[in-house]
Amino acid sequence: MNSIRSEQRKTGAYYTPSAIAEYMTERLFARRIDSVLEPSAGDGAFLKAVLSVAERFGYRAPCITAVELSSHAIQRATAEIASPKINFVHSDFLLQSGSDFGAVIGNPPFVRLRHLPVVERRRALSVAADTLGHEMDPSGSVWMPFVLHASRRLRKGGSLAMVLPLDATYVRYARPLWRFLSESFSDLRVVRVRQRLFPDLSQDVVLLFADGAKGQTTTIRFEAFADLSTLKSERSELRRDVNVADIVRGERAFLSALLEPELQQLLEGPIAKRLVVAGQLARFRIGYVAGDKDFFHPTRDIVRQYNIKRKHMIPTIASARNLSRSGLFTSGICAAKREWLFLPTADTLSVGDREYIKFGERSGVAAAYKCRVRSPWYTVPYVTPPDIVMSVFSDRPLVAINDSRKAVSNSFLCGTVLQGTPEAFVCRWYNSLTLLQCELNVHSLGGGVFVLVPREAAAVKLLASAPAPGRLLKRIDSALKNANLVEAYESGDHSVLHDREGLSSNDIELIQRGVATLRMWRNPSDRTESPLIEQVDEQFALLEA
């Protein structure tokens, strides 16, 4: 099973469920189509859907060109689908050119460009540049060149239907795509379904429908559905217009569209003038990267066994368990949870230090990438204690004050306060308005877990004026000691949002409902969380995306 998943991640070959292929094809067949291109045919789900839907609608089956890079997939599809209307092409779609089509439908590969062989990566970037008129961000994924290239294969008035990763609605590298689509089609529609449509895929998806090739538009019709059954019956939970210009500017317009109009007005009105981005108040970075967690965070027994010099053991916060139920201050971490970082100085090594370093070399630690590029390999860089510590993976970000001045590993974000005090920053952070801002600015894994990266942490908007700490800090501290993050965030709702900022009870209820709405879309209760280990590498790549 693991080998299958690894191959899927390598090729992006997550095949489309038949129900989704049928739905997309039905929308495509709102008018008669004489020719269809499937740029990544895979197991033939869309080919079957095109033939089936055409027959059901009473249309003559269109001529279909099915392009597929995998010879195994083509063999399987040709064995299962016998139709003279289908022309199979064994090739990389990005190498294809030629005649225009009435429609393009498909599910492009979801694989990052940096994971492609060099030749394929250069080809994808070249195709994107030819279409956009400028270079594509190389931190992106190959689905984008596929969509761009597919759009160019349409004749005037043609239609496109594509499965896209949810990331496409907000990542920086995709912004030029939305400008291109708005300048290339007269009608754009994006569909999102709360129920996961691809059970085996660790990413959420949206469905893109683009009609009227060679036309133009400034808006996108955004429709949200609860599940597959409501999608099929077109019973949407909401239908809103999203401005392409907002997406291109970097706003998460598709997320904002899920909020109640009254809440959107509140956020865009008086509240907007009272907020500043967190990046103005603090500078964020990932904690230190050790290279081998076990070696660089030795247990007490290991320290005694090798007689490691005490001054080379730096108090650190290395794992999420350190902050669990420890309260708001890192000084509250109990003795049983305390950890140390092995950080020797080359010119003051003791006999025990040298023996432990030799053990690391024998064990292969020194050969690990993060270690072998360092000189000496056992000296971990960037171990400056931050002012505040923030969880990276969580359902709600946990923020603590590093009053004990411990080092912090890359299991966390580190914050250096630029204005005010750590206490003032925390009092700004813990309220439902900030939590709503997290929902709007912080991306999540497929299982709904927040992944807080420096750029997104800096984009979270906080109150411009700092509340007085006092009792608020005590309430937050108490909630965190009880592992109640909900209570921690709601601690500031009455004393800060209501009493200090003058928001009405109705305003605060709107904000709390907004948090609940976006959390529901981020982490629906009917989902099964995917293993984090399969997704961490991709998510940290979004630091540049």
The string of pLDDT tens digits covering residues 283-300 is: 999 999 999 999 999 999
Question: Can you tell me the distance from the alpha carbon of 374 to that of 432, in angstroms, rounded to the nearest whole number?
Answer: 43
Note the pLDDT of residue 214: 96
The string of pLDDT tens digits covering residues 46-65 is: 999 999 999 999 888 999 99
Burial zone of 221 (CB within 10 Å; 0-12 exposed, 13-18 middle, 19+ buried)? middle
Q: Is the pLDDT of residue 10 over 90?
A: no
Residues near 309 by Cβ (< 8 Å), separated by ≥ 6? 344, 348, 349, 350, 352, 353
Q: Render 484-539 in DSSP notation, one character per residue.
A: -HHHHHHHHIIIIIIIIT---HHHHHHHHHHHHHHHHHHS-TT--PPPGGGTHHHH
The string of pLDDT tens digits covering residues 231-288 is: 999 999 999 999 999 999 999 999 999 999 999 999 998 899 999 999 999 999 999 9
Q: Given pLDDT bands bounded at 50, 70 and 90, which one contains residue 536?
A: very low
Question: Can you tell me the distance from the alpha carbon of 279 to that of 416, in angstroms, rounded to the nearest whole number?
Answer: 10
> How far separated are the first and last CA of the chain, in Å rounded?
30
Helix or strand or coil: residue 443?
coil
In single-letter form, the type of residue at position 473 comes to: L
Q: Is the pLDDT of residue 4 over 90?
A: no
Q: Is the pLDDT of residue 348 over 80?
A: yes
Helix or strand or coil: residue 334?
coil
Query: Which residues partner with 242 through β-bridges?
Result: 220
Note the pLDDT of residue 446: 66
The H or E element that residue 6 is part of is helix 2-11
Note the pLDDT of residue 531: 34
CA 459 centroid distance within chain: 15
Note the pLDDT of residue 5: 42
- Provide the sign of the torsion angle of the four alpha carbons 435, 441, 446, 452, taken in this order: negative
Helices marked H in 153-252: 175-182, 228-232, 244-248
Note the pLDDT of residue 142: 95
Note the pLDDT of residue 533: 31
Note the pLDDT of residue 526: 42
Q: Is the pLDDT of residue 544 over 60?
A: no
Note the pLDDT of residue 538: 42
Mean pLDDT of all residues in 108-124? 94
Q: Is the pLDDT of residue 400 over 60?
A: yes
Mean pLDDT of all residues in 121-131? 96
Token pair of 40, please?
Answer: 């990544």
In single-letter form, the type of residue at position 300 comes to: R
Q: Are strands 35-38 and 101-106 parallel, antiparallel or unpaired?
A: parallel
Mean pLDDT of all residues in 22-40? 92
Judge contact between 481 and 327, C-beta under 8 A: yes
Question: Can you tell me the distance from the alpha carbon of 250 to that of 16, in angstroms, rounded to the nearest whole number?
Answer: 29
Side-chain half-sphere CA neighbours of 389 within 13 A? 32
Q: Would you tell me how many other CB atoms lie within 10 Å of the CB of residue 421?
A: 13
Judge contact between 160 and 105, C-beta under 8 A: yes
Residues near 27 by Cβ (< 8 Å), separated by ≥ 6? 161, 209
For residue 17, say if its preceding peptide bond is cis, omega within 30 degrees of 0: no
Q: Is the pLDDT of residue 527 over 50?
A: no
Question: Can you tell me the distance from the alpha carbon of 407 to that of 290, in angstroms, rounded to the nearest whole number?
Answer: 12
Question: Can you tell me the distance from the alpha carbon of 492 to that of 472, in angstroms, rounded to the nearest whole number?
Answer: 7
Q: Is the pLDDT of residue 6 over 70?
A: no
Note the pLDDT of residue 2: 40
CATH entry 3.40.50.10860 includes domain 2-258: no
The three-point CA angle 140-144-145 to 5° equals: 105
Percent of all residues in the chain with a pLDDT value above 70, rounded to a whole number: 92
Mean pLDDT of all residues in 14-39? 89
Note the pLDDT of residue 79: 85
Note the pLDDT of residue 202: 66
Q: Is the pLDDT of residue 112 over 70?
A: yes
Q: Given pLDDT bands bounded at 50, 70 and 90, which one contains residue 320?
A: confident
Note the pLDDT of residue 525: 57
Note the pLDDT of residue 528: 38
Q: Given pLDDT bands bounded at 50, 70 and 90, which one contains residue 15?
A: confident
What pTM was estimated for this model as a whole? 0.86
Percent of all residues in the chain with a pLDDT value above 90, rounded to a whole number: 79
Mean pLDDT of the chain: 90
Q: Is the pLDDT of residue 466 over 50?
A: yes
Question: Can you tell me the distance from the alpha carbon of 389 to that of 315, in angstroms, rounded to the nearest whole number?
Answer: 14
451-455, 520-524, 538-542: least confident range: 538-542
More confident residue, 447 or 537: 447
The string of pLDDT tens digits covering residues 483-505 is: 999 999 999 999 999 999 999 99
Note the pLDDT of residue 71: 87
Token pair of 374, please?
Answer: 């360092």
Mean pLDDT of all residues in 147-153? 96
Q: Given pLDDT bands bounded at 50, 70 and 90, which one contains residue 313?
A: very high
The string of pLDDT tens digits covering residues 428-448 is: 999 999 999 999 999 887 678
Q: Is the pLDDT of residue 532 over 70?
A: no
Token pair of 286, please?
Answer: 């990932």
Question: Can you tell me the distance from the alpha carbon of 519 to that of 527, in angstroms, rounded to the nearest whole number?
Answer: 13
